[in-house]
Amino acid sequence: SERTLVLIKPDGVKRGLIGDVISRVERKGLKVVAMDLRTLDAETAKAHYAEHSERPFFGELVEFITSGPLVAMVLEGPRAVEAFRALAGATDPVKSAPGTIRGDHALEIGENVVHGSDSPESAAREIKIFFPDRF
């Protein structure tokens, strides 16, 4: 079994998609083992997205992810990292398949509803940022 860090980003919360995302996660068989609604400060956002700090869109990314409440959760299950990335769909929601979270709900790359860790190593790092001392 494996853990992954998932965010329902501020666009997803604003649009009322918390239930839809959690419902897909549970239907798939992934288990929610931690969950919290919170607004990120810039420092936490920058730590979370550190790998993108040199990208031209980094400022926008931090501004967007701190723009309102998000839902952070830890999911657990067999190959949870890959399983949630498959549910989420491709990063660019124009290209993500219909039937995926992004494919069904988004059009703009900057507002693509969810985040999921991209590897077990990233998951461990991100879980420590969002839920220190919990695991």
Cα distance between residue 41 and residue 106, in whole Å: 25
DSSP letter for each residue of 67-124? SS-EEEEEEEETTHHHHHHHHH--SSTTTSPBTBHHHHH---TT--SEEE-SSHHHHH
User: 91 contacts which partner out of ligand GTP, Mg ion, none, CB within 5 to 8 A by kind?
Assistant: ligand GTP
Amino acid at 89: G
CB of 56 to ligand GTP, least distance (A): 8
Residues that bind ligand GTP (CB under 6 A): 52, 57, 60-61, 91, 109-110, 112, 115-116, 118
Given Mg ion, ligand GTP, none, residue 102, with its beta carbon under 5 to 8 Å by kind, binds: none
Give the number of other Cβ atoms within 10 Å of residue 19's Cβ. 9
115 is catalytic: yes
**What CA–CA distance (Å, rounded) separates 1 from 30?**
10
Q: Which of 48, 52, 105, 115 is catalytic?
A: 115
Alpha-carbon gap, residue 71 to 39, rounded angstroms: 9
Binding-residue pattern over the window 91 to 120 for Mg ion, x denoting contact by CB under 5 A: ---------------------------x--
Q: How far is the CB of 49 from Mg ion (least distance, A)?
A: 8
**What does 57 bind: ligand GTP, Mg ion, none (CB cut-off 5 to 8 Å by kind)?**
ligand GTP
State the catalytic residues.
Answer: 115
Which residues contribute to the site for Mg ion (CB under 5 A)? 118
